[in-house]
Amino acid sequence: NAGVMQNPRHLVRRRGQEARLRCSPMKGHSHVYWYRQLPEEGLKFMVYLQKENIIDESGMPKERFSAEFPKEGPSILRIQQVVRGDSAAYFCASSPKVGETQYFGPGTRLLVL
């Protein structure tokens, strides 16, 4: 049973470009969570999705950021018109049910030049 997969592992973008981060949850997990880790900081909750639905996006910036978890395919975190402050590690986690242990992917490290 493969763990949570994220790609790409590293992503370099210039200011103003778009970044797309992908997350494939563990098999059988329908709950997906995205977290952001800024340098020297702890992980911060961004958004919680269940298949085709956004349950809680209270931690996600209202502008430029969006997330989806379609019926088929991976969850996508999309950042439009990236700025240098978006440079961070973005982690995805999944769980079989809400409240159960979240299993984390290896993260995508975004660098905005």
Partner 1 sequence: KNQVEQSPQSLIILEGKNCTLQCNYTVSPFSNLRWYKQDTGRGPVSLTIMTFSENTKSNGRYTATLDADTKQSSLHITASQLSDSASYICVVSGNSGYALNFGKGTSLLVTP
In the complex, the residues that contact partner 1 under the rule CB under 8 A are 4, 31, 33, 35, 40-45, 48, 56, 58-59, 91, 93, 95, 98-99, 101-107
**Shortest approach of partner 1 to residue 47 CB, angstroms?**
10
**Shortest approach of partner 1 to residue 21 CB, angstroms?**
13
Task: Kindly tell me which of 14 and 62 has the beta carbon lying closer to partner 1.
Answer: 62
Tokens 């952001």 -> residue: 36
Task: Kindly tell me which of 50 and 81 has the beta carbon lying closer to partner 1.
Answer: 50
Q: Residue 21's CB: how many other CB atoms inside 10 A?
A: 22
Task: Kindly tell me which of 103 and 111 has the beta carbon lying closer to partner 1.
Answer: 103
Determine how β-strand 31-37 pairs with β-strand 43-50.
antiparallel
Task: Kindly tell me which of 48 and 69 has the beta carbon lying closer to partner 1.
Answer: 48
**Shortest approach of partner 1 to residue 70 CB, angstroms?**
20
Of 78, 74, 87, the closest CA to residue 113 belongs to 87
Q: How far is 98 from 113, CA to CA, in rounded Å?
A: 37
Q: Are 7 and 19 in contact (CB under 8 A)?
A: no
